[in-house]
Amino acid sequence: MATRPTRAEWREIPAPVGGALALMGKVAGAETHCGVYLAQDGGLILQTDERHGVLLDPPLELATARRWRLTYLIPS
């Protein structure tokens, strides 16, 4: 996402809101995975991968257990 021309159409926000894109990675600017933030049940991130299928994870779990750095984006 960081190198895509369409990145300029998105802006980072300090706290997640429903429908925000949630970028995940170990290093800022080098995110390797993304999901969508859902503002329900205290906040969950909807994501998928081939190994696990569809997942709903709390952001805190992703940040602590998997050590993901989370960046939230919304359209500009």
pLDDT of residue 30: 80
1 vs 50, residue with greater confidence: 50
Taking the CB of residue 21, how many other CB atoms lie within 10 A of it?
18
2-38 residue pLDDT tens: 778 888 899 999 999 999 999 998 877 788 889 999 9
To the nearest whole number, what is the mean pLDDT of the chain?
A: 91
CB 70 within 8 A of CB 23: yes
pLDDT of residue 61: 92
DSSP string across 16-40: --TT-EEEEESSTT---EEEEEE-S
- CA distances to 7, 53 from 24, rounded to whole Å, are 15, 17
pLDDT of residue 76: 92
54 vs 8, residue with greater confidence: 54
CA R_g for the chain = 12
